[in-house]
Amino acid sequence: MGRRVFITGLGLIAPHGEDPESVFDRIYQGDSAVRMVRSGTVDFGSDLPLATADFTPKDRIPKTQQLFMARASQMAVVAAEGALQSSGLFGVGQEGPEDGEIGVYMGCGLGGAEILQEGYRTYFVRQSRRGRPSTVPMIMASGPASHISMRFGLHGPTHTYSIACASSTVAIGEAFRAIRDGYLDTALSGGAEAMLNDGSIAAWERLGVLASSHTDGPEASSRPFDLERTGFVLGEGAALLVLEAESALQERAVDPIAEIIGYGVSSDAFSLTEPHAAGQEAAMRSAITDADIEREEVQYVNAHATGTPSGDPIEIEAIKSIFEDHASNLAVSSTKSVHGHLVGASGALETAISAIALQKGRIPPTANLTHPDPSCDLDCVPEYGREAPELTVAISNSFAFGGSNATLVLRKV
């Protein structure tokens, strides 16, 4: 057994806003942040449901730094500041602690998508080879992690995991392991994703995985486990967690939000886009073993469930396979029903939601689940959140294109 690892701070730039408490409350109420958005131009565009974040850095990042930061990096830096402040580690304008190294472990799927788009526009549309010189450092998937390190003077490892939809769950898992195993005491970990530029969206549309608007309105478009689901709603944002070793916590008065107790990963080795129950089951099993708990101790699953017709039943199958008789006791919800799919930032946002759920003893619902799919026949917490004062252990799943699966296990403090 290694050292215990606690979540001591949260910072969000989410479709529901920036304050973690109120973001959670809206998610718990099943209040959708999905809106109909025009992507592209009037003539050459598309209207589709998206979960955008109402974000501009304003004066929270110096103007000259903003110039060289893609939207994902800007979101990451502001969310990181929120996480550091809420952990009490240090506040605005303060340098990081001089003694000890803080690591940055980030997940990001694409990087500076809108900057890449602009570069291609210059090349192909303007037929010019003279794009912005800063294009290269701005499109890197590692940009968000690098900017967090530079902005707050953090000298520990600065790692980026780019594993599609599992990116930030793996990032948090790897930070958890590094702290548990004694490689560092403190890490900022999470994810950032901002690829709601029209070029990226057009590609996603062609893949045929995005939700169309529901007859009840765009707010009802994301419908995991529901018979009327048509795909997922793309979102954007950043979610950052401060992770600390128990020993670091003892040195200052801080109330942790939750404890991370296990992490498991697996690879399907199966398909670029199709999910695979065996691989998902392996990740959950590995995480529960890593947490050194009985599977019957798990009470809540924050599912990956994105709302695609093929994906949701596979996850239910995997959950049944590992939990067997206990599966019917589980609450399994997909909060993507209200915040959409943040891809590389999704796992971090859902880990944050799971941590607050444990802290508050409240299980968030799967909103829009009005016509349950018989192939998703577990307790998927339809429509309404649930008071659960006895809630102690939760898991959060992220399953990626490419067949990478990751699960985190969290415990109430």
Partner 1 sequence: MRAYPYLAEVLADKYDVDEDKIRPEATLADLGLDSLMVVEFLFDVEDEFDIEVPDDRAEFETLDEAATLIDELIEAKGD
Q: Tell me which residues are annotated as active site.
A: 165, 304, 341
**Sites for partner 1 among residues 29-88 (CB under 8 A):** 62-64, 67-68
Q: Which of 91, 133, 374, 389 binds partner 1 (CB under 8 A)?
A: 133
Find the binder of partner 1 among 38, 60, 121, 132 (CB under 8 A).
132
* Residue closer to partner 1 (CB basis): 88 or 137: 137
Rounded Cα gap, residues 114 and 99, in angstroms: 38
Q: Could you say which of 52, 85, 134, 321 contacts partner 1 (CB under 8 A)?
A: 134
152: tokens are 């707050």
- Residues 181 and 259: their CA atoms lie apart, in Å, by 15
- As a whole number of angstroms, the distance between CA 267 and CA 33 comes to 32
Return the HEC string of 211-248: CCCECCEHHHCCCCCECCCCCECEECEEEEEEEEEHHH
- Among 71-79, 132-140, 205-213, 335-343, the segment contacting partner 1 (CB under 8 A): 132-140
Using DSSP, state whether 50 is helix, strand or coil. Answer: strand
384 and 368 in contact (C-beta within 8 Å)? no
Instruction: Name the segment binding partner 1 (CB under 8 A); options: 127-135, 142-150, 193-201, 369-377.
Output: 127-135
Scanning 58-186, the segments in alpha helix (DSSP H) are 63-66, 71-87, 113-120, 135-139, 143-152, 167-180
Tokens of 273: 């886009």
Which is closer to partner 1, CB of 149 or CB of 168? 149
Minimum distance from residue 68 beta carbon to partner 1 (Å): 6
The interface region with partner 1, picked from 126-134, 257-265, 317-325, 372-380 by CB under 8 A, is 126-134
Q: How many residues bind partner 1 (CB under 8 A)?
A: 10
Q: For residue 241, what are the β-bridge partners?
A: 10, 189
Residue 153 binds partner 1 (CB under 8 A): no
Q: What is the DSSP letter of 121?
A: I
CA–chain centroid gap for 106, Å, is 11
Q: Which of 40, 45, 88, 137 binds partner 1 (CB under 8 A)?
A: 137
Q: Which is nearer to partner 1, 118 or 185 (CB)?
A: 118
Which residues would be at the binding site for partner 1 (CB under 8 A)? 62-64, 67-68, 130, 132-134, 137
